[in-house]
Amino acid sequence: MSIVDIKTKAQFDELVQKTPYVALQAHAVWCGPCKAISPFFTKFATALALPEKYTFARFDTDEVPDLAFELGVRSIPAFFFFEKGDKTADLTAPKPPALQKVVEDLSTKAKAADARSLSGEWTRTIPATRRTKTCNIPGASNGRIEQRRVARS
């Protein structure tokens, strides 16, 4: 999957609203360190992106200054990571291993969320005052019963 090039702040806002996990690179065409780390970001995007679940994007700080201002970009390259619309992490001038760790961690979360969303099963856990059991019971709700999605085996 390719990297999405962000051209407007509105485009970015839409991407973050529609995609649960987003890795975003702030760069500029004249920035040497940006050019050095961009191939790594592209490599990670190719290997880890999940359609409609985990997207890699980038924007030029000179072309979209309002987004750079909103994110508080002070130096580039800078990377920002979003989960369900909220910024959860950022990296400024990272080395490839640091960038790899963050994008792989986010990929793991995205894959786990994707597996849960593909499952139509719910489990219920009986309180610890009795034996704890897990069973597939669709529907009923009870204040003492906890509902969790689980992946199908």
Question: Catalytic positions, please?
Answer: 31, 34
Q: H helices within 92-146, ranges in order?
A: 96-118
DSSP 48-75: H-BTTTEEEEEEETTT-HHHHHHHT--S
